[in-house]
């Protein structure tokens, strides 16, 4: 998939909700292929920790592949943390990683997930 298509995916996902802080596409080695963010927000991770986070996502993605035959492929992962919520979606060997403001209530999170799924599935 081209970087332009990944950029378009980020743009479409960021437009879904004002609660979305950051959208990035992470490659299979943990490299950030492209991203988009709300410019008025201060990032929660510095550059070094962002790199570690993306490397962690790449390793998890690789490990999850061992269970695909028995459980099916991962469609998305939703993680709640004290300061932020994240969801990630698989597109082949890449991951679309989305961070969402902690203030987003569960119904908004479900709306965001339901809105992201068709965008991601179109490119999977």
Dump pLDDT digits (tens) for 86-118.
998 988 888 899 999 999 999 999 999 999 999
**What is the domain partition of the chain in residue ranges?**
3-123
Buried b (16+ CB within 10 A) or exposed e, 72-83: eebeebeeeeee
Please name the helix (run of DSSP H) or strand (run of DSSP E) that holds residue 117, with its range, or none: helix 106-123
Mean pLDDT of 58-81: 77
> Which position has the token pair 């969402």?
100
DSSP assignments along 73-104, one per residue: ---EEEEE-SSEEEEEEEETTEEEEEEEETT-
CATH number of 3-123: 3.30.450.30
Mean pLDDT of 5-23: 95
Q: Say if pTM beats, i.e. exceeds, 0.95.
A: no
pLDDT value at 25 more than 90: yes
pLDDT value at 38 more than 70: yes
pLDDT confidence tier of residue 82, bands split at 50, 70 and 90? very high
């Amino acid at each position: 998939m081209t970087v332009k298509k990944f950029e378009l995916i980020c743009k479409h996902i960021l437009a879904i909700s004002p609660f979305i802080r950051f959208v990035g596409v992470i490659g299979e080695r943990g490299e950030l292929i492209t991203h988009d963010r709300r410019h008025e927000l201060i990032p929660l991770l510095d550059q070094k920790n962002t790199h570690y986070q993306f490397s962690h996502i790449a390793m998890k993605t690789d490990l999850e592949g061992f269970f695909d035959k028995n459980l099916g492929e991962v469609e998305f992962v939703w993680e709640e943390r004290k300061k932020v919520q994240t969801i990630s979606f698989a597109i082949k060997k890449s991951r679309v990683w989305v961070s969402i403001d902690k203030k987003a209530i569960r119904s908004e999170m479900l709306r965001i997930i339901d809105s992201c799924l068709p965008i991601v599935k179109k490119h999977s």
